[in-house]
């Protein structure tokens, strides 16, 4: 089974946050790191799905 890679636009759409949030959280170690493919950044969808599952919901 092949892994799905998300580009920045689709990542932000999936998680509902801006790229500014993504890079800040990556720097602080709270968000999955991207993979560089050439000059482009891609995120593993499975890691993003795990991150989403592990977020605490606050109401």
- How do the domains of the chain map onto residue ranges? 5-53
pLDDT tier, 2 (very low <50, low <70, confident <90, very high otherwise): confident
- Express each pLDDT in 9-22 by its tens digit: 999 999 999 999 99
35 neighbors 42 (Cβ within 8 angstroms) = yes
Phi first, then psi, for residue 54 (nearest 5°) are -90, 0
pTM of the model: 0.88
């Amino acid at each position: 089974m092949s892994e799905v890679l998300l580009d920045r636009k689709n990542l932000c759409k999936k998680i509902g946050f801006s790229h500014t949030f993504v890079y800040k959280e990556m720097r602080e170690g709270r968000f999955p790191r991207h993979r560089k493919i050439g000059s482009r950044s891609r995120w593993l969808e499975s890691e993003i799905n795990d991150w989403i599952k592990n977020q605490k919901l606050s109401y």
